[in-house]
Structure 1
Amino acid sequence: MSKPVYGKNAVQSRNVEKISGPVWMLASAFVLFLGWAPFQVGLFNGLNMDYEKPLYISALLSGLMLLVWIGLDITKFKLTEQRDLVTVMAALLPVTYILSMFVAVSHYMAMNMMFIQSMYAAIFIVALYLLKQRQINVVVQNAILAIAYFIVAFGLLNWLGSWKSAGALVGWFSDTVREGKYSGAVMTDSNGLRLTSIFQYANTYAAFLMAFLFVALFALVRSRKWYGRLTHGFMLVPIIVSLLLTLSRGGLVMLPVAFILLLLFLQPVQQILWIVHLGIAGAVSILITTPVTNLGIELNTAYTSSAASKGWGYLLGGSLIVAVLGWVIQRFAEPWLHKKLGGLEARKRSGLWIPLGSVVLVGVIAFLFIGTSVRNLLPPNIGIRLENINFKQHSVLERITFYKDALKVVKDHPILGAGGGGWASLYEHYQNNPYSSRQVHNFFLQYLIEVGILGFIVFMSFIFYIIYKYIRGYAKRDKDDFSNGFFYLIIALSILIHSLLDFNMSYAFMGILVFIGLAGTAAVMDSKPLRRNWNTAGLRLGYFAVLGIGTAFLLFILIGYIGSSNAAVKAKNLTAVSQSYEELKAPLVKALDKRPGHPEASLYLSSMDQQVFSQTQNGQYLEESLHVLTPALKNEPYNKQLLVQLAAYYAFKGQGDLDFGVYRDNAGKFVWDIEWADALISRAMLMGAEAHTQKDSAREQEYFKTGLEAYRHVLAGVEHLKTLPPEQMQGRPFSVTPTIALNAGKMQFMSGESDSAKAALKLGFNENYADLINSENLWEMDWYSAIISRSYDLGQAAYAQKDDINRKANMQESFKMGFEAYSQVLADMEYLKTLSPGELQGRSLTVPPAIRLNAGKIQFMSGQLQTAAATLQLGLNEDYTDPTNRETARWYLAALKKNNSAQDQSVYDRLVAADPAEAAKIDEIAALQL
């Protein structure tokens, strides 16, 4: 392959070496792919089929482009220089992910990450081939700039309330547009509204903006055309304002770091121009950010054309001022600076002084905006974010915790790693406290976890080699040649620097940008001839054979995966419009036929099978559920939802010991999941009570020992959380819940530890149960009855709060105590049935009607209508003058009616005969919205 010629010899080069039609076609496909990818290839966050199809199509398209490159370059490619070797190194990146699949903890995520890395490698190789050719290089640069500027405008359209217009622009090809609106272009969290544009995550959008702020500066200073200067200068204000609207502290912290680092690559005149342009654009942006912020908040609540016009007026006016000033500076100040500082640029290390001075300048600016009232120039939400930038801030402390926990994973999976998605699968096993984060918030650590030391060395060698060779060639190339490469270096370096603090590279589009950036940098790096003769026909053909066969094989797999994904998504969409088991099952079976063990499809089908079994009691559905779960769990042993589904299978089978075993054997995978601990302790109590009923003391002690160990683990965890810095959030709730207290206390009580039992109750019950905790008749039937009644009252009160968006969740949380107490009542009844008449000592073998009534009402309000009807029916007696019995009959008949079951005419007739008003009351209960 001939070496490209840039700079002053470029015109001669274009006359000598023309670009063929097929190469232009490949370049056109590459540019179209770049325009399509931002709105298709989003975050890959693990087990979510919504992200699959765009990812697989992107990998398929990149693979097809790679095959075209093989066809175009197979007769020209030579392993004669170091740049050619980089192409081979890129192909090793997916190989490291393939190796990690042998030890992967999640086959599903490992496969997807292997596809992503294969896509990156293909894009790098194709981009390197195309960007060596100057005409194509310029086209790609302009395309990237156009796409970036469109993304910025797209975000601001959404911020200023024009989400319908924004959605219409991309809705014809983007699945992320729902009901005319791009989902998540403006996100809301505890800090308020945050701009995200296409990324749906503000911090990653900040990384993107940071990169293209520097690209726009570079393009402005480089441009020799008036329209180029005006265009790039015009975009500086929208980019900076957008960056501020993300409220990303990481973006604001890493921006000066990347800026100073990039200044080191520039000559003094360019450094001065960068600082001046950025200073002017920054000042104008700060002046208009407050009104733009306030107007955006207003417009995202209620759109008005006047408010939108004001917002656009501020943005367009500020941008126009900066664009004109930028043109003036480039037209008149740049030549003057070159004239005055031309001699300085010739001196060695002359480019160091301004970056060193910039460090001081950045420090002063940071002090003014963080430590003084200058911060008040910004909107309050941005000012608060700046004020909170410190090492004791909760997000900093949480990231430090992530990094420490990540190193624990690396320690246990050092060589080949844990496979793609290793952190997402394992973090709950290694975490220091109950945070929820499927991302390490550090790309390099996450990469190390996934491919181990071996893969990490390959990846870092690949990056550092390209950048090192680029820096080595810095002094040897002319301005134009260097400028082309620097455009791409800015993109790769900026995103990678920000990725030290966040998971930007988990967005496939950001990864695509980085690898294009690395390819553009490699295209102009210092490339010496290889010392060893690698350019043999055998090695060349072998390389292309492996690359071609490997790519073709991946494409074959991807076609099947796309079909599987289509079927799975079809089933998921059908759940919103169909209740037909057969209609829903067909696409799921098709999805699993092409891809056995797909976790989300397996969950859907196994859950459906278990629901049908609960309605029909047909064991065929239950066995199919197990048949679906088995391969899925083989590939995904850390998938919590699949494990819960397996436990439910054993519960339906009546195999309580195996149900208990699932929670016991997997407790170590979810050490900070209080719901898992709650379920384990509850099952230990029930199984121990069953063994107690059977008078099997050995099994009883075994179950109680496991349950109480889990309880002590919870106590130890609560104490550990007290040691966290006060500024650090603990994450998910983790405490002794009422149900844990009830079950642990009962186990302690049955083990003869009465004082410990009372202490456990005091830890778990809130003030709503204070009087019951201090009762003298703990664990007697009247005590259980009072708890169940109180649980229903609290749940009913939560249900009555119509304005509370969490009312149903609060209701169910209150009902949990009633469910647990009722379960213990039933267990006690089973135990009493095993006693002799003498041992009973007058104790009743009948559950009191009040308990049946309140338990049935709880089941009814929880949507368990069939179970509620059965419970309430057991509480009925013949006395319809008794108010409790009439209420029980009322709820029983309402449960039958709401469940569309046959009416119990005998009960209805006697109830209505006792009080004709009961008919209306039954209808009223049946009409409740659950």
Structure 2
Amino acid sequence: MSKPVYGKQASSSKVIEKSPGAAWALCIAFILFLGWAPFQVGLFNGMRSEFEKPIYVAALLSGLLLLACAILYFKAFRLEGQRDLLTAAALLLPLTYALSLLGAASHYMAMNMLFTQFTYAAIFITSMYLLRQKRLNYTIQLGVLTIAYLIVGFGLLNWLGSWKLAGSLVGWFSPTVVGGRYGDAVMTDSNGLRLTSIFQYANTYAAFLMAFLFVAVFALIRSRKWTGQLMHGFMLVPIIVSLLLTLSRGGLVLLPVVFILLLLFLKPVQQILWTLHLAIAGVLSLLITNPVTSLGLELNSAFTSSAALKGWGYLLGASACTGALSLVVQRYLAPWLSRKLGSTESRRWSGVWLPLVSVAGVAAIAFLFIGTSARNVLPANIGTRLENINFRQHSVLERFTFYKDAMKVVKDYPVLGTGGGGWASLYEHYQNNPYLSRQVHNFFLQYLIEVGIVGFLVFMGFILFIFSKYIRGYVKRENDDYNNGFFYLIIALSILVHSLLDFNLSYAFMGILVFLSLGGMAVAMESKPLRLQWKKLWVRAGYYGLLGIGTGYLLFLSLGYISSSSEAYAAKKLIQVSQSYEEIKAPLVKALKTRPNHPESATYLSLLDQKVYEQTKNEQFLDEAYAVLTLALKDEPYNKELLTQLAGYYDLKGQSDEAYHVYLDNADKFMWDINWYDQLISRASLLGLQAYAKQDESGQQKYFDSALAVYKHITDGIEYLKSLPPEQLQGREFFVISTTALNAGRIQHMTGDEEAALTTIKQGFINGYEDLTDAGRLWTTEWYSAVIGRSQELGAAALKRAQEAYSLGNNDLGDQETLGKNRYFKTGLDAYAHAAADRDAQQQGVTVTPELLLNTGKIQYMSQDMQAAEATLKQGLSEDYSNPINRELARWVLAVQQRMQSAQDQAVYQKLIAADSEEAAKINEVAGMPL
């Protein structure tokens, strides 16, 4: 039997010698793709058209690279060794995702992940062939390092206030640059500002920095030229400072873990050099972190050139000192250490002592910075993050909850999984408490959820085989080939270890780096010959045939998906600027022609048709809305937006019971969504009131029992949340909101449980309603009128605050205020429905007064339901224009008509102007109100 091959040139090098120009062209194209990817490909499991297109473009480009590779290396392909077999095994990864489509929770996201996995497989196979040639391997390593250093520089440009420059450098090809600024390169959360660079997520950037910190040290020690040593040493400080600025606890905790693991691969001299270089860079980084942090916080509030120059002065000065010291260490200390310790390196266990000492050193440093006042040398925000590192910290407890809930999904989808993006679709059904996380925060668990046990075993077998064979070959290497694939091991190990605690591989660029690195390790691994020889031409032709057909099919699909995504995004932009139904509809129809299950396009087209129906009453638009929704929901049964649109369709059809059942039948999919439950209770309550008015006791009982059961679910959930550890955040809000209290309390009152009704009202009537909980006033005309009037006032104030927040660019606050506005207005409208029902049933002498109708009409107007507003306001009009309430009713009626550009009621207008000539200006003021 022939000897194993340890990273030596395979037969593909012969093809390179015959076609060096083609190989170099493919290599350059490969590096350009790697440079394009970080600025283009974002999170894969999002559902927004502006982020999905790069997924399909990445699949297209990587597929073209793979076809070029197949053509170039066709004659060189042999199934002779284990390494060769991996090029075939890589195709099993996208195949398992294709199989998971059979039971996918979301066909849309599952297809996105299929394209993603194809990209990874294409990158792996292409790298396997390119990296077998030493010069191409070195060139690709240099390209990867250059890209990494540019990403670090890009992040620091944004941190030190030069976001305009940073945006201009990449804005010409990156969709993430809006208004000249790269979105969230410096993000803000409860911890303050955090550096994210291109990733828009600090923890993933920390994983990236950790990997390339160690790669930079490796490159520094490997380099034989002083320029290389100086450059790599120079970059250590920017990387460490950037890592600290991410405020990532996971990055800081796992950094020493990965460092010690990597030390185990090194000889004693190399271990000492690694430790020394990192110690020098670490000390100098700590010295400048405080001022660089303070200056960054200042510059992100208001830019001044003096502060920016000062910040760059600290960074460049410390980096230059580190580079110079690194050069001295490599020039003088490294040779001396080799002479002194070279003889000890052959001794058994010689490489274990320093890692063991490092464990003690790491423990001591951790104690100093976490358990003592030594952390005060760090900026306050970093010190606080370190102080909070413990197993009772909320992010740790939340991750444990994610993992437990993830196993519930695995239990229900064990074999083939949920398809790509399954957790994002299903987590609300399985979650223990109302957290909001479309990621499991553990790559391996998320992979298991998506492809099941079958796919997970394939994936783990694939990567563990490469790691085990590489490590075995690295340990057995006959010479001290320190550069033998170690560059790639560092990247793959660092990212995968960090992915135990986060979702780094949901970013395509991180996944591309991992699979490129797996390819680099496979090239250098111990590769034994296969027992069966597969040298026949038909084997090569069969493999390439399958590869070509599969790749060609996915390339064809990617072209269609790219076109569909472009149309969807064009429609989304048109919605913001156009009022033309046909203009907006055209790209949506084109987008859905290729992908009828595209949730965003289906939602937009359905909403568009429903709005046109409200204006025209043409049933054709409702029929189209229904067809679009039902077709999309076949593949997207867990999509909340589509389900909400379906309920809206039934509302327009006057089929209230069907709309109610949309919420009832899908309630278990959104176990902790208080807004979903509020809608369900509201609809059940109003349907029960209608049944009561018709003296339908069985119908009344059915709806009332349903509403009260949901209300009990809410109150039980509130009690359960009190049992969570105090350090664990609850997540989204989950409490009895005013609308829920109004409807549940009304049912309890009608069933004779007055005490429970009062308790419910008091529990939910907060945030502005507290003075309306007097038991003696409940369910009277005056009480209903007060609730509606208060809802109108509170909602109008929230609407104004939302508009101000949006104008200042604070979308999060704007969204929060919009949610508050909607809740206030819904409380008022439901109170009106109850008052009207009580009036019709002659309960407690309730009447619908002009003042009550006025405030209800105002709510409908500010909710942009103009037709309903006009009808409501007209109910309250009288001939007494000396009455200020009547004049205000008339004013709002005329303003609604002006807003809708419909025929003005001249009789009302003349009477109003005759009563008060200033009313004309007031009508225009109301009609011009921003909504």
TM-score when scaled to structure 1?
0.96
Higher deviation after alignment, 855-864 or 582-591: 855-864
Structure 1 residues 442 and 712: CA distance shift in structure 2, 3 A: same
The answer to whether the aligner puts 1:312 opposite 2:279 as a matched pair is: no
Note if contact 1:6-1:480 (Cα within 8 Å) is conserved in structure 2. no
> How many residue pairs align between the two structures?
918
How much does 1:253 deviate? 0.7
CA distance in 1, matches of 2:310, 2:770: 57
- SS of residue matched to 1:31: helix
State the identity as a percent.
Answer: 63
CA RMSD of aligned residues (A): 2.1
Letter in 2 for 1:766: I
CA distance in 2, matches of 1:593, 1:438: 28
CA distance in 2, matches of 1:71, 1:814: 65
Note if contact 2:6-2:527 (Cα within 8 Å) is conserved in structure 1. no
Letter in 1 for 2:229: R
Letter in 1 for 2:826: K
Structure 1 residues 671 and 186: CA distance shift in structure 2, 3 A: same
Note if contact 1:4-1:133 (Cα within 8 Å) is conserved in structure 2. no
- Cα deviation, 1:525-546, whole Å, max 9, x if unaligned, reads 0111112334444433322221
CA distance in 2, matches of 1:913, 1:9: 97
Superposed, 1:426-465 pairs within 5 Å as 426-465=426-465
Note if contact 1:690-1:831 (Cα within 8 Å) is conserved in structure 2. no
Aligned position for 2:542: 542
- Cα deviation, 1:497-539, whole Å, max 9, x if unaligned, reads 0001110000000000000010000101011111233444443
Aligned position for 1:654: 654
Structure 2: gaps spanning 5 or more residues? 806-812
CA distance in 2, matches of 1:438, 1:79: 41
Aligned position for 1:835: none
Aligned position for 2:607: 607
Letter in 2 for 1:162: S
How much does 1:46 deviate? 2.6
Structure 1 residues 74 and 33: CA distance shift in structure 2, 3 A: same
- SS of residue matched to 1:483: coil
TM-score when scaled to structure 2?
0.96
CA distance in 1, matches of 2:248, 2:800: 39
- Cα deviation, 1:778-820, whole Å, max 9, x if unaligned, reads 2232321121122223334545669765555544433332121
How much does 1:201 deviate? 0.8
CA distance in 1, matches of 2:765, 2:351: 67
CA distance in 2, matches of 1:285, 1:14: 47
Aligned position for 1:110: 110
How much does 1:6 deviate? 8.9
- Cα deviation, 1:745-770, whole Å, max 9, x if unaligned, reads 11222223222222211211127434
Aligned position for 2:826: 816
- Cα deviation, 1:807-863, whole Å, max 9, x if unaligned, reads 55544433332121012223334445xxxxxxx89x57x621121011112222333
CA distance in 2, matches of 1:30, 1:771: 68
Superposed, 1:213-362 pairs within 5 Å as 213-362=213-362
CA distance in 2, matches of 1:119, 1:829: 65
Aligned position for 1:865: 866
Aligned position for 2:512: 512
Letter in 2 for 1:851: L
Structure 1 residues 812 and 346: CA distance shift in structure 2, 3 A: same
- SS of residue matched to 1:173: coil
Note if contact 1:491-1:514 (Cα within 8 Å) is conserved in structure 2. yes
The answer to whether the aligner puts 1:174 opposite 2:154 as a matched pair is: no
Note if contact 2:4-2:528 (Cα within 8 Å) is conserved in structure 1. no
Superposed, 1:38-49 pairs within 5 Å as 38-49=38-49
CA distance in 1, matches of 2:342, 2:14: 31
CA distance in 2, matches of 1:32, 1:650: 51
CA distance in 1, matches of 2:229, 2:374: 31
CA distance in 2, matches of 1:63, 1:769: 60
Structure 1 residues 384 and 697: CA distance shift in structure 2, 3 A: same
Note if contact 2:420-2:451 (Cα within 8 Å) is conserved in structure 1. yes
- SS of residue matched to 1:391: coil
Aligned position for 1:93: 93
Superposed, 1:659-674 pairs within 5 Å as 659-674=659-674
Letter in 2 for 1:900: Q
CA distance in 2, matches of 1:480, 1:46: 46
CA distance in 1, matches of 2:46, 2:798: 34
Aligned position for 1:79: 79
Structure 1: gaps spanning 5 or more residues? 833-839
The answer to whether the aligner puts 1:137 opposite 2:126 as a matched pair is: no
Letter in 1 for 2:387: E
Note if contact 1:482-1:524 (Cα within 8 Å) is conserved in structure 2. no
Letter in 2 for 1:139: T
How much does 1:140 deviate? 0.3
- Cα deviation, 1:385-418, whole Å, max 9, x if unaligned, reads 1111111111111111111100110011111111
- Cα deviation, 1:457-489, whole Å, max 9, x if unaligned, reads 110111111010011111333567441400001
Letter in 2 for 1:328: V
Note if contact 1:7-1:479 (Cα within 8 Å) is conserved in structure 2. no
CA distance in 2, matches of 1:714, 1:107: 31
- Cα deviation, 1:589-644, whole Å, max 9, x if unaligned, reads 11111221211111111111111111111111111101111111000000000000
Note if contact 1:6-1:134 (Cα within 8 Å) is conserved in structure 2. no
CA distance in 2, matches of 1:256, 1:732: 34
Note if contact 1:469-1:525 (Cα within 8 Å) is conserved in structure 2. yes
- SS of residue matched to 1:470: helix
Aligned position for 2:893: 892
Letter in 2 for 1:539: V
- Cα deviation, 1:623-670, whole Å, max 9, x if unaligned, reads 110111111100000000000000100010001111001000000000
- Cα deviation, 1:192-242, whole Å, max 9, x if unaligned, reads 111111111111111100000000000001111100000000000000001
Note if contact 1:7-1:481 (Cα within 8 Å) is conserved in structure 2. no
Structure 1 residues 579 and 799: CA distance shift in structure 2, 3 A: closer
Q: Could you tell me which of 838, 848, 857 is aligned with 1:828?
A: 838
Letter in 1 for 2:145: L
Aligned position for 2:914: 913
Note if contact 2:7-2:484 (Cα within 8 Å) is conserved in structure 1. no
The answer to whether the aligner puts 1:692 opposite 2:692 as a matched pair is: yes
- SS of residue matched to 2:672: coil
How much does 1:107 deviate? 0.5
CA distance in 1, matches of 2:218, 2:727: 40
Note if contact 1:788-1:817 (Cα within 8 Å) is conserved in structure 2. yes
Aligned position for 1:188: 188
CA distance in 2, matches of 1:670, 1:587: 31
Structure 1 residues 811 and 675: CA distance shift in structure 2, 3 A: closer
How much does 1:319 deviate? 0.3
Note if contact 2:4-2:529 (Cα within 8 Å) is conserved in structure 1. no
Aligned position for 1:676: 676
CA distance in 2, matches of 1:211, 1:915: 75
Aligned position for 1:580: 580
Letter in 1 for 2:714: V
Note if contact 1:409-1:449 (Cα within 8 Å) is conserved in structure 2. yes
How much does 1:675 deviate? 0.3
- Cα deviation, 1:94-138, whole Å, max 9, x if unaligned, reads 111111110111100111101100110111001011101101000
Note if contact 1:66-1:125 (Cα within 8 Å) is conserved in structure 2. yes
How much does 1:8 deviate? 11
The answer to whether the aligner puts 1:471 opposite 2:471 as a matched pair is: yes
- SS of residue matched to 1:76: coil
- SS of residue matched to 2:194: strand
Letter in 1 for 2:613: F
Aligned position for 1:836: none
CA distance in 1, matches of 2:486, 2:159: 32
Task: Flag as ranges the 4+ runs of structure 1 deviating above 6 A.
Answer: 2-10, 13-16
- SS of residue matched to 2:769: helix
Note if contact 1:6-1:481 (Cα within 8 Å) is conserved in structure 2. no
Structure 1 residues 28 and 317: CA distance shift in structure 2, 3 A: same
Higher deviation after alignment, 751-760 or 48-57: 751-760
How much does 1:16 deviate? 11
- SS of residue matched to 2:197: coil
- SS of residue matched to 1:415: coil
Higher deviation after alignment, 212-221 or 61-70: 61-70
How much does 1:64 deviate? 1.2
